[in-house]
Amino acid sequence: MIQDPVSMALRPFSLEHLLETIPELQRFNFNIHSSSFDEPIDSSNATPELWSNLVSIIEENYSQYDGFVILHGTDTMAYTASALSFALEGLSKPVVITGSQLPIGMLRTDGKENLISSIEIAATLPQLFAEKRGEVCIYFDGFLFRGNRTIKSSTQHFEAFESPNYPPLADVGVEVKFESDHFLPKREGTFVPHKSFSDKVGVLYLFPGITRETVKATFYNDENELYILRTYGSGNGPSEPWFLNLIEEQVSKGKIVLNITQCDRGTVHQGKYEASGAFKSLGVVGGLDMTFESAVTKSMFLLGQNLSQKELKQKLIEPLCGELSI
């Protein structure tokens, strides 16, 4: 982003003059090439089409580079990181996503350090960990996180992102300290990019006093194939018959209901309390410790793969690229 000198509003800008903006990049002893979208967007306008475009760019350039860095607005960065982690199957190279809390043209911007460190990490990882799998990561304010474990937790601080249920992959201070045990182990298979995402996903966020009409308004969209239920604590929700009947009705229609906790830390454990035992008996899928961002994008990704309902349910609770803990 840059700041409009008249309105003072933040707007997207092109990265054609990246090396001029950050001359420090010319001091690296490796080649850096940049590519921009014709019309850069605010990340609040991110869509599955954007994710598909990013997959295409990486696919087209995959054999030419050792690593990739994506500059992205912070608002939906965790969604994009999660989506790409699923779409870039068999990834063997690092993809590091970064951005800034203050625009790169501002005096106190955090963008320069984030970008410089991201490029250094993307160039270093292939040399360090030949036995590890390529990962889609987020680098921000001194920490490298697994992308599909990350959430945006602050609008005011430079430390804008957290990985509540998985430790950082690297801690960047005076030295870059990589935690090799936290990276995914390498596995056999070729790079297979995927570009199909389905938007047939609905979300019901529970709150005390939620009404039948509110729940119906969410569930009664026949186009949706999967609903994410944002529950309390370890996966709990109302036990009123009308609420359980509405969930049962959706399951009987062949819709999938995925249980994701509203808590940042911890896991869904259906049946731990009586309030969630009914969900399990109705066929609601427990989402374990997936972030909401990961649950949404994984659902959209799997729905785009033309899987059977049985296969889809199984893969929702199966770690595809380190997004959940068993």
Which CATH number goes with the domain that contains 59? 3.40.50.1170
- Residue that terminates a domain, selected from 174, 193, 212: 193
Residue span of the structural domain in which 114 resides? 2-193
Shared domain for 106 and 58, answered yes or no, is yes
Task: Provide the pLDDT confidence category of residue 14 given band limits of 50, 70 and 90.
Answer: low
Q: What is the pLDDT of residue 129?
A: 81
Shared domain for 21 and 142, answered yes or no, is yes
Dmax of the chain from CA atoms?
66
Shared domain for 77 and 151, answered yes or no, is yes
Question: Could you tell me if 226 and 299 are in contact, meaning their C-beta atoms sit under 8 angstroms apart?
Answer: yes
**Who contacts 208 (Cβ-Cβ below 8 Å, separation ≥6)?**
none
**Residue 324 forms part of a structural domain:** no
Model confidence at 11: pLDDT above 80: no
Q: What is the pLDDT of residue 37?
A: 82
Model confidence at 111: pLDDT above 90: no
238: domain CATH number is 3.40.50.40
The CA–CA distances, whole Å, from 143 to 54, 75, 129, 280 equal 23, 18, 18, 37
Shared domain for 20 and 130, answered yes or no, is yes
Angle, vertex CA 230, rays to CA 224 and CA 232, nearest 5: 155
- Residue that terminates a domain, selected from 193, 209, 231: 193
**Structure pTM?**
0.93
Task: Provide the pLDDT confidence category of residue 276 given band limits of 50, 70 and 90.
Answer: confident
**Residue 282 forms part of a structural domain:** yes
Q: What is the pLDDT of residue 309?
A: 93
Round the average pLDDT of the chain to a whole number and report it.
Answer: 91
Residue type, 294: S
Shared domain for 206 and 69, answered yes or no, is no
**Residue 131 forms part of a structural domain:** yes
Model confidence at 182: pLDDT above 90: yes
Shared domain for 186 and 217, answered yes or no, is no
Q: What is the pLDDT of residue 68?
A: 97
Shared domain for 165 and 207, answered yes or no, is no
**Residue 50 forms part of a structural domain:** yes
**Who contacts 38 (Cβ-Cβ below 8 Å, separation ≥6)?**
none
- Residue that terminates a domain, selected from 193, 223, 247: 193
Q: What's the distance, CA 43 to chain centroid?
A: 13
Residue-wise pLDDT for 298-322, tens only, equals 999 999 999 999 999 999 999 999 9
Q: What's the distance, CA 151 to chain centroid?
A: 8
**Residue 107 forms part of a structural domain:** yes
Shared domain for 115 and 34, answered yes or no, is yes
**Residue 322 forms part of a structural domain:** no
Question: Residue 182: which of 196, 197, 170, 194 has the closest Cα?
Answer: 170
Q: Into how many domains does the chain fold?
A: 2
Residue-wise pLDDT for 58-79, tens only, equals 999 999 999 999 999 999 999 9
| Residue showing tokens 């602050």 | 154
Q: What is the pLDDT of residue 12?
A: 63
Please give the structure tokens belonging to residue 250: 């959706």
**Residue 118 forms part of a structural domain:** yes
Shared domain for 175 and 108, answered yes or no, is yes
Shared domain for 70 and 213, answered yes or no, is no
- Between strands 161-162 and 192-193, the pairing is unpaired
Shared domain for 233 and 275, answered yes or no, is yes
* CA atoms of 291 and 162, how far apart (whole Å): 11
Shared domain for 162 and 303, answered yes or no, is no
**Residue 37 forms part of a structural domain:** yes
